[in-house]
Amino acid sequence: MDLGLKDKVAVIMGGTSGVGLKTAEMFLWEGARVAVCGRNQERMEKAIQHLLKFGTTDSIYAATCDVTNKEDVNNFINGAASRFEGIDILVNAAGQSVMGYFFDVTDEQWEQQIQLKYFAIIYAVKAVHPYLVKRGGGRIININATLAKEPERHMVTTAATRAGLLNLSKTLSQELAYDNILVNSVSLGLIRTDQWERRRMKNAPDMNPEEYYADLAKKRNIPLGRVGEAEEVASVIVFLASSKASYVSGSTIETAGALGKAL
């Protein structure tokens, strides 16, 4: 099936690991060009080496950028646009969770999470908007979590900031429709990525990974009976960016193995 992504330019905020990296890989498979960013230089180098298996130096742009820093975001997005002479797609995939109950979380952690899960998206959308308009339209895909609709007490900062982002995504889908920019969310449950690998290494380094994830799926009662894979999220993102999703905007696609119960 032709997804109409050949030569399109996709900018992936947080594309050096996990879901973002897998998405970059899939875009390259489809003949698109990709720009990826992250903060850690070593992770970035590894990501570039990985992506070079699917694309060439001409189709990959990578630069360090902290998405919570407006100047960094502007520099990265302008750099990608000038390298590829435009931008068609923005994927907001940067992030990591802070676990903690309300009284465990410091004000500084709240501010940091609001920056990461909220302002980072505002900065990226503002920076990419003129480029999408110049192309006559485009796509914005925000990665979210089932927690946005179903808060859990031990993940209070993630749940609250994600709910705000879900609301903002809806508004943006309406506001940017006038520029032919389609805005959607992909809502994740538990996906096996470096984020979870770091938790596994911290909490159960000696446990067999397959057993660890099977156990996690059981403890969290995931109806499909397993934790998801980054590739299963990336394919939804790529679909939303494709010509096949030309009338989908303002929607949220849950990619969580039926974990979410909210309507």
Which residue ranges make up the site for ligand NAP (CB under 6 A)? Answer: 14, 16-20, 37-40, 43, 65-68, 93-97, 116, 143, 145, 188, 190-191, 193-196
CB of 6 to ligand NAP, least distance (A): 25
Nearer to ligand NAP, 95 or 138 (CB): 95
Q: Using alpha carbons, select from 35, 99, 42 the residue that is nearest to residue 67.
A: 35
Q: Which of the 8 DSSP states describes residue 118?
A: I
Shorter beta-carbon distance to ligand NAP: residue 179 or 197: 197
Least spacing, CB of residue 127 vs ligand NAP, in Å: 14
Q: Which is nearer to ligand NAP, 145 or 181 (CB)?
A: 145
Residue 238's closest CA among 29, 16, 17? 29
Q: Which residue is closest to ligand NAP by CB?
A: 18
CB 123, min distance to ligand NAP, A: 11
Q: How far apart are CA 22 and CA 31, in angstroms?
A: 15
Q: Give the shortest CB-178-to-ligand NAP separation in angstroms.
A: 28
Cα separation, 103 vs 149, in Å, equals 21
The least CB distance from residue 47 to ligand NAP, in Å, is 7
Which residue in 189, 183, 201 sits closest to 142, CA to CA? 183
- Which DSSP state fits 155? B
**Residue closest to 47 by CA, chosen among 230, 258, 186:** 230
Q: Which is nearer to ligand NAP, 17 or 173 (CB)?
A: 17
Do residues 74 and 123 touch, judged by C-beta distance below 8 A? Answer: yes
CB nearer to ligand NAP: give 37 or 90: 37
**What pairs with residue 254 in β-bridges?**
187
Return the closest-CA partner of residue 248 out of 233, 236, 232: 236
